[in-house]
Amino acid sequence: MGRQAKKQAWLYWQLNGIPAMPLSPLIPAVISFDSKGHPWSDLYQDIYHSKEGGLEETLHVFLSGNNLPNRWQNQSQFTILETGFGLGLNFLMTWKTWLEDRHHPKKLHFISLEKHPFQKRDLIDLLEPWTLLKPYSQELINSWPLPLPGLHRIAFNQGKVSLTLGFGEALELLKETEATVDAYYLDGFTPSRNPDLWSTQLCQQLARLAHPQATLATYTVASNVRAALHAAGFETAKCPGFGRKRHMLSGQLSHHYKKKAAYPADKKNKQHAAIIGAGLAGSALTESLARRGWEIDLFEQNAQIAQGASGNSAGILMPLLSRDDNTASKLTRAGFLYTRQQAIRLEALGMNPGFNACGVMLCARNEKEESDFSALTAPFSWPEAFVQPINQSQGSCLAGWPLPAGGLYFPQAGTISPRHYCQALLGLYPNQVHHHFNCIVMTVKRINQSWYLYDQSGQIICCAPVLIMANAAGTVKMGLDMPIKAIRGQISSLPAVNRHAPKLALCNRGYVTPQIDHYIHFGATYDEIDDPDISLSSHSENFDRLNELMPGFVHDPMPWGQVEGRVAFRAVSPDRLPLVGPIASPQPIKPGTKNRNIQREPGLYTLAGLGSRGLAWAPLCAEIIACSLNHEPAPIERKLIQALDPVRFALRKANHQS
């Protein structure tokens, strides 16, 4: 790769990338009250809950209307989908009821859509009067996401309760939702004032997601709502309403429309997986599955965890912006938010994930680039807590160093020690994880519905029904047809003693961290060579990158006697997106075949190709696989999941050759 190509590699994803769905700016709700002090929407001219009592309405209309908690008792999991989150009273009361029910399902999944979510500060005020819900509302507020479009996954009760918040247009979000829904809470504003939330098209999406025994409940009995539900395949009936409303509506999926398969029956095989690779990918997978009760055999060819690219002293955790909010940007934003939330959760559990929420600045090198960066934020109205365009003076003040121009400031971003993060993830469930260090898996074979792993001498070292390849470019060495390339990266480090380390992380063509364990770390090179040794020329490149970010920070004579370095190899795919999910069987693919129709190797998955974004991508991608294996709602939009499918390259090749 030439020098000019190296200069452009990082900016490629900011300014181009893979096109994705158009993004409409998210407009948060504005807090308001009617004459009686009830929360009110000026936009829809309607109240957020019944004047006769919000919690009583939840119990009567939505819980009793769906015959809960009776229907969920002694189930392995239960999924509820709500069409209007509002203040969150329905979720909070359902969560409370779940916790108080001795026979509750092992896992409760709650999916809720909201076009105009409240800001965190408003939600605090709105939930303050509901003292009965205080323990639950406080946890919700603590985890409340930024008002950013898309799906947001939040875990409560050690992951036993999951809340998936969809911010944006309900119909578009439903099209991107992958789940099997047991019960629906249809709780939008009144149909005459918010017709989009009761349309036939939306009801058809509800039917697409419905479990064969799915039920629904809503406060409204409007004729157009009943007609839309009937057209989508639901049978409905009027029931006694709540408060001053004479009737409400309950319903279930008609037997004529029960085409969606139910949850697969629990297999007799115990939940057991073998995972190859103990870097970020393998550690994240181990945590996601162990949290769900799985037993894990984790194989690592080195003597310790995180010895490859995951062994670097520091990495940058930040989102990614692009002009069209492309697939890479959406995935990185979702992953950034998920990893940040997980790091905070790990800290609360007494673990040390090595997270420093110091902020990150994408530094422009001149006024033209500053203008280009600022233009990335213009169409989307991003909240200031997510990203702020800043000028040269503001950036210099934040960094504590005179910068050549302004840029973009990400106040909730920061640095993470990948090694510490892996250690924290693997330390959560020590009794469920069996480590195998200095263990090279040479071959794998599927025999009698299990995967057998063989060492260098041909001896069987493990047998498991599920095998996940998380060993970066090692997937290719094991004979899998994966288009992954190993890209060399060298980072450099200098003692922070007597040096004015930046107050936050700075990045552009390279990056530099604040002081971490008495060092600053900067880099990194992007070399298509396989030399594992430290190179002076690579140090020189990194010094050039450092001086671009912080002019004059290093100067002749160069501090060659103080600089330290580390070389690791990133695993990169041709489209720079990771490979996440089930691996296809080795047979020809017919042109035009849909992803879902491609035959897969039973129980064989991969999480690889994380490139330079393992911190932002690995935990979320691990959750995608864990949700798939456990038949749970997907944590992100299904178009994003399809974009990560390992079979995508074979599909493109087949379609191109047709």
Angstrom CA distances, 133 to 72, 105, 126, stand at 21, 21, 12
Rounded to whole angstroms, the Cα distance separating 188 from 560 reads 64
Q: Three-state SS for 536?
A: helix
Q: Specify if 415 maps to a domain.
A: no
Residue 115: DSSP 8-state? S
Mean pLDDT of 196-210: 96
- Residue found by looking up tokens 């200095």 in the block: 438
Q: DSSP per residue over 234-273, as a string? A: EEEEEEE-STT-SEEEEEEE-GGG--S--PPPPPSS--EE
For residues 96-125, give the mean pLDDT: 96
Share of the chain above pLDDT 70, in %: 92
590 and 470 assigned to the same domain = yes
pLDDT for 215-261, tens place per residue? 999 999 999 999 999 999 999 999 999 888 889 999 999 876 655 55
The pTM is what?
A: 0.93
Q: How confident is the model at residue 47 (pLDDT cuts 50, 70, 90)?
A: confident
Does 17 score more than 60 pLDDT?
no
Please answer whether residues 439 and 471 qualify as being in contact, where contact means their C-beta atoms are separated by less than 8 angstroms. no
Residues 165 and 285 in one domain: no
Same-domain status, 290 and 211: no
Domain CATH for 69: 3.40.50.150
Number of domains in the chain: 2
Phi, psi of 153 (to 5 degrees): -100, 125
Instruction: Indicate which CATH number applies to the domain containing 634.
Output: 3.50.50.60
Return the top range by mean pLDDT from 149-153, 483-487, 499-503. 149-153
Q: Please tell me whether residues 133 and 173 are part of one structural domain.
A: yes
Element (H, E) at 7: helix 3-15
Strand order of the β-sheet with 295-299 is 433-436, 295-299, 272-276, 466-469, 600-608, 579-584
Output the furthest CA–CA distance in the chain (Å, rounded). 85
- Band (477; pLDDT cuts 50, 70, 90): low
Statement to judge: residues 142 and 214 lie in one domain: yes
- Show the domain range for 154: 40-257
- The predicted structure's pLDDT at residue 42: 78
Helix axes 418-426, 280-290, angle to 10 degrees: 20
> Would 509 be classed as within a structural domain?
no
Task: Please answer whether residues 580 and 607 qualify as being in contact, where contact means their C-beta atoms are separated by less than 8 angstroms.
Answer: yes
Q: How does residue 488 score in pLDDT terms, banded at 50, 70 and 90?
A: very high
Asked if the bond preceding 524 is cis, omega within 30° of 0, the reply is yes
Give mean pLDDT, residues 114-131.
94
Beta bridge partners of 564: 493
Q: Which of 383, 386, 391 is nearest to 364 (CA)?
A: 391
301 and 189 co-located in one domain = no
- Are residue 294 and residue 197 in the same domain, yes or no? no
Q: Output the pLDDT for position 259.
A: 54
pLDDT at 499 over 60: yes
161 plus 282 within the same structural domain? no
In a domain, 372, yes or no: no
CA angle 458, 464, 467 (to 5 degrees): 85
pLDDT tens sequence across 418-438: 999 999 999 999 999 999 999
Q: Give the pLDDT confidence score for residue 153 in this predicted structure.
A: 97
Cα separation of 385 and 383, whole Å? Answer: 5
Decide: helix, strand or coil at residue 450. Answer: strand
CA distances from 580 to 204, 583, 599, 631 (A): 29, 9, 16, 16
Residue type, 211: H
d(CA 472, CA 456): 19
Say yes or no: 594 and 627 in one domain.
yes
- Answer yes or no: is pLDDT of 478 > 90: no
Predicted local distance difference test score (pLDDT) of residue 269: 54
Q: Are residues 209 and 286 in the same domain?
A: no
Question: Which contiguous run of DSSP H or E holds residue 284?
Answer: helix 280-290
Q: Which residues pair with 296 in a beta bridge?
A: 273, 433
**pLDDT band at 380; cut points 50, 70, 90:** confident
Q: Is residue 222 part of a domain?
A: yes
Distance of CA 442 to the CA centre of its chain: 32
Q: Identity (one letter) of the amino acid at 563?
A: V
Give the integer Cα–Cα distance in Å for 192 and 205.
21
Confirm whether 590 is domain-assigned: yes
Q: Is the dihedral of CA 219, 86, 620, 374 positive or negative?
A: positive
Could you read off the pLDDT of 502-546 as tens digits, one per residue? Answer: 999 999 999 999 999 899 999 999 999 889 999 999 999 999 999
pLDDT class of 268 with cuts at 50, 70, 90: very low
Report yes or no on 580 lying in a domain.
Answer: yes
- Is residue 294 in some structural domain? yes
Same domain for 238 and 206? yes
pLDDT, tens only, 341-375: 999 999 999 999 999 999 999 999 999 999 999 99
Which range, of 16-30, 277-291, 335-349, averages the lowest pLDDT? 16-30
Mean pLDDT of 590-615: 91
Q: What is the pLDDT of residues 434-443, one digit of tens each?
A: 999 999 999 9
- Preceding peptide of 129 cis, ω within 30°: no
For residue 458, what pLDDT band results from cuts at 50, 70 and 90? very high
388 in a domain, yes or no? no
Q: Do 114 and 226 share a structural domain?
A: yes
Mean pLDDT for the chain? Answer: 90
Residue spans of beta strands (DSSP E) within 318-374: 355-356, 360-363
Higher pLDDT, 263 or 283: 283
Instruction: Quote the pLDDT of residue 15.
Output: 37
